[in-house]
Chain A
């Protein structure tokens, strides 16, 4: 099966400082893959480099087998990559309905499809998104990305500042998107247990390199190594898969 997203030897950074160094991974359609790691490991930079917001210094990104042009966010979006950044990036002065409308010229049934996933948003359609609670904002951010019907969905720090109940609810939505719509999801998380619960597979980043990877079951068995990765004492190359 062709990977929905394939990242090959990707390197990126800011100024003269390299942040990710030659990382490679794949996500199949209908699969949820988590990128794990401590602060500064390079998780967010990986997503930004995929989206073209940070210029890749080396390597390539392909979606559905097609290589994307480097540093061209619009082409990445057109190729079917949706990105929910860490800060949610909503248009705070626009209503919920307008936030969705800006995402794409879709028909009424598209709105219904999204509201079916996030029924909580229906009664908030005419409220300014800046006035929503954190959980509602995260729902809207996800809904807006889903509204564009992406093949690959990149979600950065979904659980940040949210109650566990909301996190569970959102994980359920991601699972539905993956299984029902065949969407490939890349989930960047610091919340280790939530990520392992949501993901089919996971990659652990340490100082810009993948140091550990495996399926959920494999990683659950190597919990000590996984925790060590978070504490920073894992050795490079300890790959389970």
Chain B
């Protein structure tokens, strides 16, 4: 096969990129959301189609409908499409319509939440067994200019382009399309003109849902179908959507097709030229495209009138010695007393808390969104493996080198962030996560292939700090204490950073880069410093995780783990140290995870439950569970405490009041008036 044949073959994946990019542009233009979940929702529909064709069963998110017979292709497509439209409408109305005026971060996390929830739903409803689907489009080869080309890829490309052209015309030529664009831009103006912005947006969501589902079904016969097949295809689609500047459906669709063709062409080149990197080139291309597009379009400072990201307030980082000492003492006493499962949960929570702290600094303090935090942790983990297992570097020099490596990469990823903000930054970091995973983590030379990379247990002066002891001694309490010390130290350091002048500068940059720059703050330097501290913390977390696991594979630091980390810390509270600690318990394998397994028997639904929790928190309480505690629980406790004090004070004050005058009670005891 020659280069052209490879490029034409790539039109298959190009068609799905084009369809996803079309969907992304449509919904972004209508509701300001970058929907990461199109891949997952399309996959749900495609798997529904596969089961419907094969067994005549329409699998629904809850329950199923048995049609009894093997339905025709047309009926299957219609049923799946009807379900997809309803599903998409529900996603919009329940998750994104309430967030229409929310800051970009809330929309990003809700989008990630939907993606993970649908992905978890796919695993729960369809399992992980691969499926295949019979050809729908004619697939007889056709010969053009001497090259034998797969006919169905050409049809797929034509269908994707046809959809894009129709939607482009709808969007630019019809009053409805123009009104949708207008309403997304200025809701108040639309309302004053008698339009219904939510309904206009809902129609765009429906159209996007229809396009991704139909093209997904058409492409299904050309690919193997399993849970996760389509989910991360959203990354190249995002690249294509960015080429269309998130506003032109037609340009985005063409870019998607070209990208698919080029990726496939690259495969041909890697086969022909062995000196080219054999891993990750395919995934590296969309990353480069995303970064280039955003770097070119981005600005060093946001433009005049650019809406500021309204993140939840970051608590002052004040230390409360008594609760802190009590929590540390409880953890220290609990570690040896807990069963191995709960102890492991506690250790995982501690490690995850350090990782969550890295996001608190980056997102909570500086206002930068990152979906690649576990990639940085992974670089630390694999570096640790290389320098300790292969290089024989002892503890603690090995971990220090690993943390430095993560910091260096973090700074590299932060460079685009100097010009890119909000939703776009989320896209860049997601693309970076996928590129790092494919380019570095899946490279057997770096990570040891299927056997993975080993990490020797940490030892200091002959004393083992490792997690593994004898057969009965897992996880070792000593390792638990090691993690506890590191967690407490990093948490105190982050709290100190919040109180420090640098922390205040970070919050100033988060609040308004323009205002901060006007006040003499070097926003770029603050951002880079924040990125360095954050990636160092991610490196520390990654190192601890490496020591905990002992044997690393790319799955330990995959893109999904980065998304899972964002879920955990946002649920906990992304602007506070307490939120990060709470986030640690919510991370996969943490204390909440153990509780779900042990007490509720809901371990299989952990991701689904947490993702739905994330969406609810994004809508109802942007400062997470820690913020909710601060806002709701703490005042109530204070009120309760005040009532108790008041009752006691009245009892004490009464004799004085009686002695002087009943009206002097207020002066004698101010608590009475306050209560």
Contacts and interface: CB of A to CB of B under 8 A. Distances in A.
Contacts of A78: 194
A225 B364 CA distance: 54
A85 B181 CA distance: 20
Tell me the interface secondary structure of chain B in the complex: helix
Contacts of B190: 102
A86 to B, nearest CB: 11
Contacts of B191: 53, 73-74
Interface string A49-93: 001010000000000000000000110011000010100011111
Contacts of B195: 102
A181 B604 CA distance: 69
Given A101-B175, A102-B175, A102-B178, A90 B193 contact: no
B500 interface: no
A91 B192 contact: no
A77 B182 CA distance: 17
B186 A91 contact: yes
Contacts of B175: 101-102, 105
Contacts of A102: 175, 178-179, 182, 190, 193, 195
Nearest to B29: A93
Interface residues of A, number: 23
Nearest to B182: A91
A101 B182 CA distance: 11
A82 to B, nearest CB: 8
Interface of A: 51, 53, 73-74, 77-78, 83, 85, 89-94, 98-99, 101-105, 144, 148
A29 B303 CA distance: 44
B329 interface: no
Interface in B158-201: 175, 178-179, 181-182, 185-186, 188-196
Interface of B: 175, 178-179, 181-182, 185-186, 188-196, 247
Contacts of B196: 74
Max chain A Cβ within 10 angstroms of own Cβ: one of B175, B189, B190: B189
A90 to B, nearest CB: 7
B192 A90 contact: no
Contact of A89 (B179, B189, B194): B189
A89 B188 contact: yes
Given A77-B194, A148-B193, A98 B188 contact: no
21 contacts: A53-B191, A53-B192, A73-B191, A73-B194, A78-B194, A85-B188, A89-B186, A89-B188, A89-B192, A91-B185, A91-B189, A92-B185, A92-B186, A93-B181, A94-B182, A94-B185, A98-B178, A98-B182, A101-B175, A102-B182, A102-B190
B178 A93 contact: no
- Which 7 pairs of residues, A with B, have the shortest CB-CB distance? A89-B189, A77-B194, A91-B182, A102-B179, A98-B178, A102-B182, A73-B191
B181 A74 contact: no
A99 B186 CA distance: 12
A103 B189 CA distance: 10
Contacts of B179: 102
A91 B180 CA distance: 11
Given A91-B181, A91-B182, A53 B193 contact: no
A73 B195 CA distance: 9
Contacts of A98: 178, 182
Nearest to A105: B175
B319 to A, nearest CB: 35
A30 B181 CA distance: 35
Nearest to B196: A74
Max chain B Cβ within 10 angstroms of own Cβ: one of A102, A103, A104: A102
A170 B247 CA distance: 34
Contacts of B189: 85, 89-91
A169 to B, nearest CB: 23
B108 to A, nearest CB: 22
A89 B189 CA distance: 5
A148 to B, nearest CB: 7
A103 to B, nearest CB: 5
Nearest to A51: B192
Contacts of B182: 91, 94, 98-99, 102
Nearest to B181: A94
Nearest to A75: B194
A178 B179 CA distance: 29
Contacts of A91: 181-182, 185-186, 189
A89 B183 CA distance: 11
B25 to A, nearest CB: 13
Max chain A Cβ within 10 angstroms of own Cβ: one of B178, B186, B191, B194: B194
A211 to B, nearest CB: 29
A58 B185 CA distance: 32
A102 B181 CA distance: 10
B192 A83 contact: yes
B670 to A, nearest CB: 25
A74 B175 CA distance: 17
Given A101-B178, A102-B179, A85 B185 contact: no
A93 B192 CA distance: 18
A147 to B, nearest CB: 9
A144 B193 contact: yes
Nearest to B187: A89
A77 B196 CA distance: 12
Nearest to B247: A93
A116 B488 CA distance: 73
Contacts of A93: 181, 185, 247
